[in-house]
């Protein structure tokens, strides 16, 4: 029997997807040859199996016949063994029963002849039985060997059938792949024809494309020259732009620095103007304070003088009482020179009272008790109430440093409040202070400019 070396796993492998038509044809022819070999092997195995089965049947029939003969010989051997036993029992009975009956020598010899013949037959039967047993064993071994061969042949036949089935499936797959490949070849042939036609058309268009290419190359050269020229112009423009930007940045930096300097100068100027205005206001306030102190001293002197005049003259008539109020007295004093000393008023207390008939100094009548007069040297002046208005720093230097003389309003408005005066005296004092404040003030601007 021919054994196949192909395994079932190797037969089920499908051909690769990229296999060409020639490879598929060769694979198909190979599979067909393998299938033919497998069919021949299957037929040979089937014939061998038939021969083995026939031989097994013959051996079985021979074994059956020999088994029947062996059983017959065994039965015959058993019968002869029984006969031999019986004869031996008779011999023994004859040997040991001499008292019952006496046998002559010829009878003993006649009985011994069948016994020897039976023993010979018995030995022949035993030898034949042993030979039959050995033949039976041999036939049994052969029968077992044939049965094993039949089993192996059946297994081989099953494997060959499975291989044949695998080969059939592979053949079908190969035929399907061949059909697909032929279809692909047809489509590829069609595509090849289309490609060739397209190549022909492309060859026809190649001349036109060459002309276009030459024109494009000429245009490209011209464009390259123009581009190089524009690049040089761009480089020059970029240099000019960079230089201009640098100059602009420098100018901006200079302008920022100048703005900073101007701002610093404005701040310094504003600070100086404000400082000069503050100094001028301080000087004006001090001068006004001094004038107020002078007016206070004059007023104290006038009070003392009035007191002395009142003490010297005495009581006045009722007709003169209407004109002797403090306001009239202060108004008359405003027309008099204020630069007099206390010694003059004390030296001539009656001369001024008798200077004219129109001057009448009545005795002051206060509605509330008046505190005793105090000199400017002994008691400090009460604090002055004033209101300062800020001056503009954006005006001219002359306007910021010099206050205008004789203007209707003063930058510093001061009011003096004398706490120990009566209500009537306070009104007269306010009138005197307003008159003195409106007097011309010396110009302190040269000193302020010099200080600055």
Contact 87, 114 (CB under 8 A): yes
Question: Which residues are CB-contacts of 402 (< 8 A; sequence separation ≥ 6)?
Answer: 280, 443, 445
Q: How far apart are the first and last CA of the chain?
A: 141
Q: Report which listed range, 71-75, 294-298, 402-406, is most confident.
A: 294-298
Percentage of the chain surpassing pLDDT 90? Answer: 19
Residue 407 has pLDDT above 60, yes or no: no
Q: What residues have CB less than 8 Å from 180, skipping those under 6 apart?
A: none
Which tens digit of pLDDT belongs to each residue from 310-346?
Answer: 898 874 544 454 444 555 555 554 554 444 443 444 4
Q: What integer is the mean pLDDT of 216-225?
A: 89
Yes or no: say if 1 and 44 are a contact pair by the CB < 8 Å rule. Answer: yes
Confidence bin at 17 (pLDDT 50/70/90)? very low
Average pLDDT over residues 346-367: 40
CATH code linked to domain 8-202? 1.10.287
**Alpha helices of 314-350 — where are they, by DSSP H?**
318-321, 326-335, 342-347
**pLDDT given for residue 18 in this prediction:** 47
What is the C-alpha to C-alpha distance for residues 398 and 395, in angstroms, rounded to an integer?
Answer: 8
CA distance 146 to 156: 15
What pLDDT does residue 256 have?
93
- Burial of residue 451 (CB within 10 Å: 0-12, 13-18, 19+) is exposed
Average pLDDT, the chain: 68
Q: Is the pLDDT of residue 286 over 90?
A: yes
How large is the C-alpha radius of gyration of the chain? Answer: 84
Choose the weakest-confidence range: 82-86, 96-100, 143-147, 187-191: 96-100
Residue with tokens 């206060």, as numbered in its chain: 366
What was the pLDDT predicted at 247? 93
How many Å is the maximal CA-CA distance in the chain? 246
Average pLDDT of the residues in 251-270 = 92
Domain-wise residue ranges, the chain: 8-202, 280-451
Please give the torsion angle defined by the CA atoms of residues 118, 122, 128 and 133, in that order, rounded to the nearest 10 degrees. Answer: 150
Q: What pLDDT score was predicted for residue 331?
A: 52
Sign of CA dihedral 401, 407, 411, 412: positive
Compute, in degrees rounded to 10, the torsion defined by CA atoms 247, 253, 258, 264: 180
């Amino acid at each position: 029997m021919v054994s196949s070396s192909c395994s079932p796993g190797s037969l089920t492998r499908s051909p690769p997807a990229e296999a060409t038509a020639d490879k598929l044809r060769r694979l198909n022819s190979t599979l067909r040859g393998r299938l033919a070999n497998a069919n021949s092997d299957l037929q040979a195995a089937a014939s061998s199996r038939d021969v083995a089965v026939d031989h097994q049947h013959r051996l079985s029939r021979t074994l059956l016949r020999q088994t029947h003969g062996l059983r017959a010989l065994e039965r015959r051997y058993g019968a002869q063994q029984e006969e031999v036993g019986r004869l031996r029992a008779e011999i023994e009975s004859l040997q040991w029963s001499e008292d019952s009956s006496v046998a002559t020598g010829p009878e003993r010899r006649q009985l011994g002849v069948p016994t020897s013949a039976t023993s010979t037959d018995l030995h022949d039967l035993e030898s034949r039985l042993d030979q039959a047993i050995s033949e039976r064993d041999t036939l049994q071994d052969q029968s077992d060997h044939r049965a094993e061969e039949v089993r192996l042949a059946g297994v081989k036949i099953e494997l060959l059938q499975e291989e044949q089935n695998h080969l059939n499936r592979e053949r079908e797959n190969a035929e399907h792949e061949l059909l697909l490949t032929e279809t692909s070849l047809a489509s590829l042939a069609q595509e090849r024809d289309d490609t060739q036609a397209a190549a022909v058309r492309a060859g026809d268009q190649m001349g036109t494309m060459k002309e276009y290419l030459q024109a494009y190359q000429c245009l490209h050269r011209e464009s390259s020259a123009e581009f190089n020229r524009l690049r040089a112009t761009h480089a020059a423009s970029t240099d000019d732009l960079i230089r201009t930007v640098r100059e602009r940045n420098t100018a901006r930096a200079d302008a920022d620095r100048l703005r900073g300097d101007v701002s610093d100068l404005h701040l310094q100027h504003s600070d100086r103007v404000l400082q000069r205005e503050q100094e001028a206001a301080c000087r004006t306030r001090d001068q006004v304070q001094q004038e107020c102190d002078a007016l206070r001293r004059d007023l104290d002197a006038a009070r003392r003088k009035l007191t002395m005049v009142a003490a010297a003259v005495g009581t006045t008539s009722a007709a003169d009482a209407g004109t002797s109020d403090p306001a009239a007295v202060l108004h008359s004093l405003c027309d008099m020179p204020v630069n007099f000393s206390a010694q003059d008023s004390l030296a001539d207390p009656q001369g001024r009272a008798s200077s004219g008939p129109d001057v009448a100094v009545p005795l002051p009548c206060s509605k509330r008790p008046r505190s005793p007069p105090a000199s400017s040297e002994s008691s400090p002046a009460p604090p002055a109430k004033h209101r300062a208005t800020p001056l503009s720093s954006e005006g001219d230097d002359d306007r910021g440093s010099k206050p205008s003389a004789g203007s209707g309003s003063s930058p510093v408005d001061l009011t003096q409040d004398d706490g120990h005066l009566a209500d009537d005296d306070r009104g007269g004092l306010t009138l005197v202070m307003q008159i003195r404040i409106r007097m011309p003030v010396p110009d302190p601007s040269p000193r302020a400019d010099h200080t600055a």
